[in-house]
């Protein structure tokens, strides 16, 4: 079955760029839409943005100016870059897959706790 493996640093300094990668195994990256979702400590879930294998993206307007999601089909990977981070960006970041644009998130990565701190 499809599995997602996340990678990236768990500590980022304020004003720097948060970068995470999600590797898809068990199926082609073209089979799904791919989203990033985050969860601040002790809080709820916030959708960040999605990408399709074609490169088509859609971002949460609240993050749009700082956000880039990209895809590398040759590596079956997609990535998140969030610039100018602050403590408010401290959260567990998840990658997730949905089988169509209005579909549920039925595949999840393991989550990466990212702390923004000097």
Q: Which residues bind another protein (CB under 8 A)?
A: 35, 44-47, 58, 60-61, 94, 96, 98, 101-106, 108-111
CB of 118 to another protein, least distance (A): 26
Identity of the residue, 55 or 103, whose beta carbon is nearer to another protein in the bound complex: 103
As measured in angstroms, the least distance from the Cβ of 28 to another protein is 20
User: Which residue lies nearer to another protein by CB, 16 or 106?
Assistant: 106
Secondary structure, 3-state, the chain: CCEEEEECCCEECCCCCEEEEEEEECCCHHHCEEEEEEECCCCCCEEEEEECCCCCEEECCCCHHHEEEEEECCCCEEEEEECCCCHHHCEEEEEEEECCCCCCCCEECCCEEEEECC
Give min distance, CB of 47 to another protein, in A: 4
Looking at the Cβ atoms of 100 and 118, the one nearer to another protein is: 100
CA 3 – CA 1 distance, rounded (Å) = 6
Place of tokens 């997602």: 4
CB of 115 to another protein, least distance (A): 16
Query: Which residue, 72 or 106, is less far from another protein as judged by CB?
Result: 106
């Amino acid at each position: 079955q499809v599995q997602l493996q996340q990678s990236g640093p768990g500590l980022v300094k304020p004003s720097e760029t948060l970068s995470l990668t999600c590797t898809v195994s068990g199926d082609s990256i073209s089979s799904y839409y791919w989203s990033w979702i985050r969860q601040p400590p002790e809080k709820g879930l916030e959708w960040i943005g999605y990408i399709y294998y074609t490169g088509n993206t859609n971002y949460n307007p609240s993050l749009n100016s700082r956000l880039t999601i990209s895809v590398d089909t040759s590596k079956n990977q997609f990535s998140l870059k969030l610039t100018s981070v602050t403590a408010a960006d401290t959260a567990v970041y998840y990658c997730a897959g949905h089988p169509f644009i209005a579909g549920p998130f039925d595949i999840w990565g393991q989550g990466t706790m990212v702390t923004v701190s000097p």
